[in-house]
Amino acid sequence: MKRRLWLVALMCLTPMVLAPHATAMDGAEYVALGDSGAATTGVQHLDTGAPLICARTTANTPKLIAQDLGLRLDDRTCSSAKIKDLTSSQGAGVAPQFDALGPNTRLVTVHIGANDTNISRHILTCHTGGAQPCGDPAWDRDIDAIADTYSAALHRISELAPNARIIVDGWPLYVRDGGCPELVGLRPADAATVQRAFDRLNTVVAAGAAANRATYVDTRAGSVGHDMCAPEGVRWFDPILATETLVPYHPTPAGMRGIADIIMAAIRAN
């Protein structure tokens, strides 16, 4: 039972509305696409006006960027989203995320792909494997397998929003070398395995961005010292013993702000 509840929490990959949903003909000024890494801080700042399945927050990175830039946002991020949900409905009341794009769109941020790699299952294995190492070769294959689909999605964004700047943000530092007690069940050697998987995912999406006139923003370097083993209030992601969001491996409010600041610096640099 505990294993099942833990998995549900991990897979759950807010009333402020900055703009109404755009029509397919024009597009919102700023469109945010993505999964729970961009959508939610768990129980913190939950947007009760958003689809429940999305667990979207009023203080996520897209909303902070919209505030900083003074742009009208259509936030389509949704927890547990996969690449296919960009073009199809994820569930009742959740339209395809691409529906918000159009010629009037000036900025698109994209954070998606982890759920397509079976990341929750692989991470759970690492935390519950006991003496068995978690370096499953299938994890690398699952990550590499999203390359073509991810690249095609970015290409389609450029077609639907030809006047937009497309920003792809990567995955920050989740696990420091050696791990920590808050990452229950994760052996020190396996901490590096988990982080290498996120780094490999960054390599895949960065290549997709480079091939499709998108800007890849590295969030890993700026997140050093803010991993899940950092103190509460400093860490950007909650560990297994989650105290802020109640959702392990997901952003805290400080994490959303930190990632927004890194993306804003990249936008302002160009």
AA identity, residue 227? D
Integer CA distances (angstroms), 60 to 14, 56, 223, 259, in order:
8, 8, 16, 10
Q: pLDDT digits over 121-131, tens only?
A: 999 999 997 66
Token pair 């970015």: residue: 154
What does the pLDDT read at residue 135?
75
* Beta sheet of 165-169, edge-to-edge order: 73-75, 30-34, 107-111, 165-169, 215-217
Q: What are phi and psi of 93, to 5 degrees?
A: 80, 5
**Count of domains for the chain:** 1
Tokens representing residue 43 in the block: 């129980």
Q: How far apart, in whole angstroms, are the C-alpha atoms of residue 186 and residue 134?
A: 9
Q: Could you tell me the pTM of the whole model?
A: 0.89
Give the number of other Cβ atoms within 10 Å of residue 187's Cβ: 19
CATH classification of the domain holding 116: 3.40.50.1110
Residue 47's domain spans which residues?
2-269
Looking at the annotation, which residues are catalytic? Answer: 36, 250
Q: pLDDT digits over 205-254, tens only?
A: 999 999 999 999 999 999 999 999 999 999 999 999 999 999 999 999 99
What is the chain's pLDDT, residue by residue, as a tens digit (270 residues)? 444 434 444 444 333 333 344 444 699 999 999 999 999 999 889 999 899 999 999 999 999 999 999 999 999 999 999 999 999 999 989 999 999 999 999 999 999 999 999 999 999 999 997 666 787 789 999 999 999 999 999 999 999 999 999 999 999 999 999 999 999 999 998 999 999 999 999 999 999 999 999 999 999 999 999 999 999 999 999 999 999 999 999 999 999 999 999 999 999 998
Report the run of H or E that residue 33 belongs to, with start and end: strand 30-34
Q: How far apart, in whole angstroms, are the C-alpha atoms of residue 37 and residue 56?
A: 10
